[in-house]
Structure 1
């Protein structure tokens, strides 16, 4: 009888040991797979090199006894913890893959935007080049100094005598007009230069205004007023009946500073300069299209109405 009891106990012990070994082998395989997945996650999160791991911020206290009845054997608890860790690892890998997919989408969208912008800028460059080639740049017609006329073959008695006093008087009157314009002195050279150029432009002293505005745009290209100065420079040429020079100034402002505050205005007045140059409607409509596509939400009510009127006059589609 004792022999039978001993044999039964040994059989039970061996059976339990075999079950424990089988469970331990299964758990070991899961832990190995989990370690491989975590290493893969670390390679994605820390591609710079080894040694960079995520340390837990909350560490369990040692020698702490949890009150209550344990839910199971240590092996069962460890298996539950490994299963939870596996679930978290799978979720983390999924988030990384989604982030990589969104990054690829952003890169594709930026590449498409860059190609579209480059194409539009190239089209405007071709328009500006055509203007420069067909209408060579000439000096503005509003220069105050009179050009001397060539000598005639008439007798001295018939030739009118020169009047230097009159010319000097005219030059003195213009100098007085320029001197009457107040020069601001706020301490900001770019702001003061633009304000002074604007006042000269308002007084219709276009050559003097152009000198001040061109100096601001050249010396302070990163200043906020650079866009204002370059745009007003084009308007000074346009008001002086020099549309070729105006078109070059407007296009230069849009090309070099497309995010400037007066870039939309430059495109608007560029279309007007092309109209004065009697350019084809296709070129003018191209400028109007560029203006509404890039700056439609930034246009004033007056400029929006002007664009609509210009598109109607040019029969833009």
Structure 2
């Protein structure tokens, strides 16, 4: 484009602008009195036309000619001002969107953290359930001698009562050795018959008793653990738990025996074999060289079951008392 064409293009809007200015001046010139009523309306119309011309000639609002209608700070009335060009969001709108996005990200982070915590908690629960269900005998006491509910028994055992929710550690030694029993032992065990009556629970317990009475302690433990697991509400359950402790104690396992004796005593102190279990608990402590706890158990036995201590279990009670020196 030649310099003359460029100058002509620049003059054309200026000429148009001048014509509009002249029209505005003529429109605002003094008029007869009868035309004064519409002066304000004509002035407003002229101002509107000038503003329209300003937007056409100087869309950028160049301050070299006159103060632009919309400044750089922007007015919501004109979407073509600098920093607010068509197709671009205003500064206020963008700031609002960024603030809302920040809030959403914070909420997502919190939800993610809570989800991870819940997932870890559920995984831990699943692992505990699997560990409990995979044991050889559900409901067996937890590892370590659980404490009794009374203060003196808690002191004897050094912990809180294990109750009925113990683990499986006390039953694991009941499994046969890794090499398996000898053919002679298998033949001897097979000679012990299992009763077949109308009470399956009593049959299971009686078979465990016969194995224990014959000296087959590992087999007796396995059978009695099965009875306790399958018939927890049977009327002989106190006999079964006490006899399972005996099967450990008679086989030289006083620590495992103590768990069962204590559990049976805690389950029902009025049961038929609760006194026996408490007295055998004292004997287990003597076998473990734990004199203090043995004395606590003996004292508890004498106070709780005075009639049994002077009657049915008198000999065993006195025998255990002679084995320890209690203060």
Q: Which one has a bigger Cα radius of gyration?
A: 2
Choose between structure 1 and 2: higher helix proportion.
Answer: 1
